[in-house]
Amino acid sequence: MMIRLNDLYLCIQGEGCLAGTPMVLIRLHGCSVGCPFCDTKETWANDEENRVPDLHQAQADPSKWCEMEASDVAIAASEIRQGAKWALITGGEPADQDLHQLVACLNACGFLVAVETSGTATGHMGAGVHWVCVSPKLGMPGAKPVLPDVVNTANEIKMVVGKPEDVTKLEDLLERSSFKGTVCLQPMSTNPEATRFCISTCQRKGWRLSLQTHKWINER
Ligand code: SF4
């Protein structure tokens, strides 16, 4: 099965419950959610003019992407993993693609597999992912609903918070789901006011604070 791939590199996970964990980050290409604050907008369009023949060329420019067999993606991840036990499939919106074969290939290479999704697509469901992080993107311009069935697959919800209404939207989503995992609030773009609001809300609700710690160490 072919996978639309934007980038692949060894990193330290900076956000959420697994922060600090070495991971091979597999950034898939394509997303139609349209978040205004997205920091990977170059992954959105599956445009032919930016399609290149191989991963090496895709890695040279964030707007470029390539297609690779799932098994070859897993092999490429293995080649750079050093001691990393985890592979992180992110995007773009990775669950727009069927992830079953990619997860199986990564498992066969000995990886634990984590997925980060907006909750608007189902390509990871039933694939045997070890850690699902749903970062719900509610009311975005792409008008794609966050699906309660996807929220229920999550080990962790990581909500990006720019203003108090974002927490209200999250509470409404939690009421519509049977999610039982960990809730993390992440201040949007490390904004100080949003950070103070996230801290007080986490203290009040017993939730976790997620900071983009990879930015402190100049990681992507
Ligand atoms: S879902 Fe993620 S990749 Fe897609 S637009 Fe939103 S932040 Fe960007």
Residue bearing the CA closest to ligand 1, atom 2: 92
In a domain, 66, yes or no: yes
- Answer yes or no: are the C-beta atoms of 178 and 184 closer than 8 Å: no
CATH code, domain with 147? 3.20.20.70
pLDDT tens digit sequence for 12-35: 999 999 999 999 999 999 999 999
Q: In this structure, is residue 215 part of a structural domain?
A: no
Q: For ligand 1, say whether the CB of 32 is within 6 Å of any of its atoms.
A: no
Q: Whose CA is nearest to atom 3 of ligand 1?
A: 92
Q: What domain range is 73 assigned to?
A: 2-156
Residue 15 lies inside a defined structural domain of this protein: yes
pLDDT above 80 for 218: no
- The answer to the question of residue 165 being in a domain is no
Pocket test for ligand 1, best of 7, 15, 40 (most atoms within 8 A of CB): 40
Q: Does residue 208 lie in a domain region?
A: no
In this prediction, residues 159-178 reach a mean pLDDT of 96
Q: How far is CA 159 from CA 64, 89, 90, 165, 180, in A?
A: 28, 18, 16, 12, 15
Q: Domain count for the chain, please give it.
A: 1
The pLDDT of residue 34 is 96
Q: Is the pLDDT of residue 196 over 80?
A: yes
Name the token pair of 209. 């604070």
